[in-house]
A and B are shown apart, each in its own frame.
Chain A
Amino acid sequence: MKPSAFDYHAPRDLGETLEVLAGAGAHGKVLAGGQSLIPLLNMRLAAPSHLVDINRVASLDTIAVEEGGVRVGALARHAAVERSSAAARVQPLLRDALRLVAHPVIRNRGTVVGSLVHADPSAELPAVLTVLDGSVRLARHGTPERDVPAGEFFTGPMESALEPGELAVSAFFPSLPARTGTAFCEVARRHGDYAMAGAAAVVTLDDDLRIASARVACVSVGPVPVLLDLSEVCAHRPAASVDWAAVARAVQDRIDPDGDIHATAGYRRHLTGVLAERALRVAAQEAADERAGEYSNE
């Protein structure tokens, strides 16, 4: 239960980080919060020969409200983003989901961008980025930065579009349109564990409070977060007259989960339908309350 040996690099700024990563290529791994990476190193499931520690790169420790959303830097800890009222005002789903990520002590050290790059299909933040159509900004020494939309970023279980030599410098979570609500519902065997099933939902209403758009991203039911558009099934009705049982069935029909020791495939399918329906109903209620426009926590 000790990591194998590696060359340790502690760059001081972004330029130096990218140079070191370019030199290390496929043998390099970035260390930010380490709350997913260090367990893998301790168990020797990963054994990179170069570890590039970005904890001293202060320019990456940012939470910035920009036009159209909030940009979270690679060194922003889960706890800092969870506490940020500015981030919660722009994108309330971020705080709701972060409260489901592991335990408070882990969130003191873990980072939002790290959770995205780790790309665990059971994790909350990849589902949040997916349902919001967010993006991840990647940097490489000597080339311009590139923004990869969530739909292309997650490529498989624990696999992303991040290439060797690249650093994920930030993630962008778009803000919500008017009359839009969000929710995250999940079931885990113990609070803080990876969820057996769960769904992040975004619902937008039209001026007559009928559902104009309803989307969910489901966790733990595929190699990447599974994005489903349920607007058609909601049939442009107000939330009170939507056939919610049909919505749950539509979710269950469109997913193909695997079973494991925690839940059979059938149970996971059932649970995902129930949780997606629940998240959509809460999101629709929040949209009707216009919580998104007036959200303020403290």
Chain B
Amino acid sequence: MSEALHEISLTVNGVVREAKVPGRRLLSDCLRRELGLTGTHVGCEHGVCGCCTVLLDGAPVRSCLTFAVSVDGHEITTVEGLSAPDGTLSPVQRAFSECHALQCGFCTPGFLCTATALLRDNPSPTDDEVVEGISGNLCRCTGYQNIVKAVHRAAELMGDEA
């Protein structure tokens, strides 16, 4: 018996994308497999590591804990959508680069999406607010110090550009 497929339409990084997916297709897998956007990383697949974090209608969520069919009609921003169309890095991306806030880079897409939403909601967070904000994302390389610095640096960059 073949599995029923559902036609869905997602606005991903500003572009309307259509896909046919089984009900059980996770949003993370739909982005990577059906839509070819492999910037969203899949780590633990049970909501612990945060690598698959994307923005759903602007709010960061775990794409591995969301079914693609559930968010039919909604807007998704992935790490590919954070930079400007000409490739200019966003302030958060520049800050991560400047502060050496990544080593292997596997967790980075999730941190970038989480930090982007964090700074949009709270443009000048305290140390505690940054740590609480990124507490759902795991990094096994950096020891987090430079990630926290990068979030503060991104806040500065965004302030300068405002």
Q: Residue of B at shortest CB range from A4?
A: B24
Q: Is A295 an interface residue (CB 8 A)?
A: no
Most buried by A among B56, B67, B69, B132: B67
In the bound complex, CA of A89 to CA of B20 (Å) = 45
Q: A105 near B60 (CB under 8 angstroms)?
A: yes
A36 to chain B, nearest CB (A): 9
Q: Is A264 an interface residue (CB 8 A)?
A: no
Contacting residues, chain B, for A2 (C-beta < 8 A): 24, 26, 29, 45
Contacting residues, chain A, for B60 (C-beta < 8 A): 104-105, 108
Q: B70 near A34 (CB under 8 angstroms)?
A: yes
Contacting residues, chain A, for B135 (C-beta < 8 A): 103-104, 190-192
In the bound complex, CA of A109 to CA of B27 (Å) = 13
Contacting residues, chain B, for A53 (C-beta < 8 A): 67, 69-70
Q: Residue of B at shortest CB range from A193?
A: B48
Q: A35 near B65 (CB under 8 angstroms)?
A: yes
Q: Is B105 an interface residue (CB 8 A)?
A: no
Q: B70 near A31 (CB under 8 angstroms)?
A: yes
Q: A35 near B133 (CB under 8 angstroms)?
A: no
Q: Is B61 an interface residue (CB 8 A)?
A: yes
Contacting residues, chain A, for B22 (C-beta < 8 A): 5
Contact-size category for B = 20 to 34
Q: B53 near A105 (CB under 8 angstroms)?
A: yes
A: number of interface residues (CB 8 Å): 31
Contacting residues, chain B, for A208 (C-beta < 8 A): none
The segment out of A37-45, A141-149, A228-236, A239-247 that lies at the interface is A37-45
Contacting residues, chain B, for A190 (C-beta < 8 A): 135
Task: Identify which of B4, B29, B62 contacts A105 (C-beta below 8 A).
Answer: B62
Q: B66 near A109 (CB under 8 angstroms)?
A: yes
Q: A104 near B136 (CB under 8 angstroms)?
A: yes
Contacting residues, chain B, for A10 (C-beta < 8 A): 69-70
Task: Identify which of A6, A41, A42, A102 contacts B136 (C-beta below 8 A).
Answer: A102
Interface residues of B in 27-65 (CB under 8 A from A): 29, 45-47, 50, 53, 56, 59-62, 64-65
Contacting residues, chain B, for A8 (C-beta < 8 A): 4, 6, 23-24, 67, 69
Q: A39 near B69 (CB under 8 angstroms)?
A: no
A49 to chain B, nearest CB (A): 11
Can you give 15 A-B contacts (C-beta < 8 A)? A2-B45, A10-B69, A34-B66, A34-B70, A38-B47, A38-B66, A43-B46, A53-B70, A104-B60, A104-B133, A105-B60, A106-B47, A106-B65, A109-B56, A109-B61
Listed in ascending order, the chain B residues whose CB lies under 8 Å from chain A are 3-4, 6, 22-24, 26, 29, 45-47, 50, 53, 56, 59-62, 64-67, 69-70, 114, 132-133, 135-137
